[in-house]
Chain A
Amino acid sequence: MIVVVANRWDQVAQAFVSRWAAHNIRVLTSQDLSAVGWHQRLSSADQATAVVGKEVVPQKEIEAVVTRIPCVVAEELFDIVPGDRPYVATEMTAFLLFWLSSLKCLVVNRPTPTCLSGPYWRQENWARAAAAAGIPVEPVCRRSMFPSPGPQHVTSQTLTNVTVIGPRVFGDTDPVLHDQARRLADVAGVELLVVRFSNPERGARFVSADVYPDLSNDAIASAMLDCLQQGTQVHA
């Protein structure tokens, strides 16, 4: 079984699972964390069970996981008493950090204590990492004062995306930008990365990055499936 951890509104995750239903892919949401059936022990996973798609499954049947949320948010916990939602969301996030970290199967984007989908880096941190990797960088500048001096002039810029999914890199750009995105993924220690450059040409500057590839893109979704299936092959 392949598991996609997502929020309950994530239509892209649902479409991804529906498209490849034959591969036994299911979505796990916060609703599954409010269902009888989870059984986890800190020192042993032998008897462990999880709840995926409202069904109790032995943990050993889970072969690969990808996570599309940074945390569980209170707003999606409709079934919890409103006053308890922030606390329960924090508890569920803490649980998922443990669970995803303890899985022995393939977890494509391993969680960190700051984010369930990998490193939670602000743009300053990505820019610093990109500069350290030798990538030309558009400086990140943030300023705050009170009262604000007035509306800030924001220049809209059309950016070029390069997406890293495991060993594959996507984006209609000069190959140099593919190499740079790959290098940044290695520096960050991530398998999934979206890097935005100032333009598609050689010499373009790094602008920003995140760890959430666009699974509504067919080629990227297909590469993600390939990546997840490596887990099923190891399992077999």
Chain B
Amino acid sequence: MTETGTILLWGLPADAPLAAVRDALQRMDCDVVLLDQRDVLDTEVELIVGSGVEGMLCVKGERIEFDAVSAVYPRPYDSRDLPVIAEAGHNSEAWQHALAVQDILNSWTEITPALVVNRPAAGEANGSKPYQSLSVESLGFYIPDTLITTDPEIALEFWRRHQRVIYKSLSGIRSIVSHLTDEHMPRFQDVASCPTQFQQYVPGIDYRVHLVGDEVFACRILSDADDYRYSKRVDMQACELPEEIDAQCRRLIASMNLLIAGIDLRCTPENEWFCFEVNPSPGFTYFQGMTGQPIADAIARLLASAPDHACIASLV
């Protein structure tokens, strides 16, 4: 047994990253508890905040005091999507309880002195890609020439100038990144309904970088698709980043108050490093499976390092 308190994992047991971290913690003989979201109707939660932060969780009669928790790895899904809550119906008592549990736990993970990987507010910057790009650019990465507009004529002019242009959502809602083609022309007037983001296509080789505390796991990705996440033919190789890029990645997640992150980079033939996105809740098991990099073990070590590891107990 290591010298830590309870390590709390929160989410669904079938979530691959959560399961991988739980397995790693169990191999380390840590005191680990998985708060299974499916048990929400058997979950009682209490939070009291005054001069301190106190409270408890009770699941099926098993009680955990908040001050016994040394580290948290939260990966909750929207409680409203749980079958038991969806079946209970909108605004039912079960629905209200599920939302209350989620909100109280989110509130607690923002302010607890325990190590939280990552605190919810720190991950919110990923909810606006252009906003996140402002931070990315300020730390030395290149970002593609990007237009956000409600004017179809300006969008067409941007397309003509760059020849190869992609469009993607502004928010964190996952969307397939696609090239603009002539097939999009009939829908171009829809741009007027909502600001839409267009980006210059940047040729090069994709890199995915996972940062876990002080550890860096980079891999090179070879794919013909615009968005390799949706390609059936992907090849990945673990690699080392150039020293300067490695340092920039570390500065980037530190500036965002993140303890773990998955960063999407692309290196052009001119050796310019572009950064497209910083994911604060990376689904790292896909990359771990392809490269053999022990990312789950690193997250487990980070969680087990609490309370020695200085936590980022930001008020914001």
Contacts and interface: CB of A to CB of B under 8 A. Distances in A.
A80 to B, nearest CB: 6
B194 A42 contact: no
B53 interface: yes
Interface stretch (A145-153, A163-171, A214-222): A145-153
Given A93-B171, A95-B130, A128 B111 contact: yes
Interface in B91-132: 93-94, 97, 100-101, 103-104, 106-108, 110-111, 121, 124-125, 127-131
B50 A129 contact: no
B85 to A, nearest CB: 10
B101 A41 contact: no
A33 B194 contact: yes
Interface residues of B, number: 57
A212 interface: no
Given A43-B137, A144-B97, A98 B173 contact: no
Nearest to B105: A144
B107 A38 contact: no
Interface stretch (B10-18, B148-156, B246-254): B148-156
B19 interface: no
B146 interface: yes
A122 B107 CA distance: 7
Given A38-B149, A91-B169, A148-B97, A127 B195 contact: no
B181 interface: no
Contact of A94 (B42, B110, B129): B129
Nearest to B173: A90
Could you say which of A33, A40, A88 has the most chain B C-beta atoms within 10 Å of its C-beta? A40
Interface stretch (A4-12, A15-23, A111-119, A192-200): A111-119
Contacts of A187: 315
Given A33-B194, A122-B103, A188-B315, A40 B147 contact: yes
Could you say which of B49, B53, B316 has the most chain A C-beta atoms within 10 Å of its C-beta? B49
Nearest to A119: B316
Nearest to A30: B194
Contact of B150 (A36, A141, A147, A189): A36
A70 to B, nearest CB: 12
Interface of B: 40-51, 53, 93-94, 97, 100-101, 103-104, 106-108, 110-111, 121, 124-125, 127-131, 133-134, 137, 143, 145-152, 154, 169-173, 192-195, 315-316
Interface of A: 33-43, 51, 79-80, 87-88, 90-95, 97-98, 101-102, 112-114, 119-125, 127-129, 131-132, 137-148, 187-189
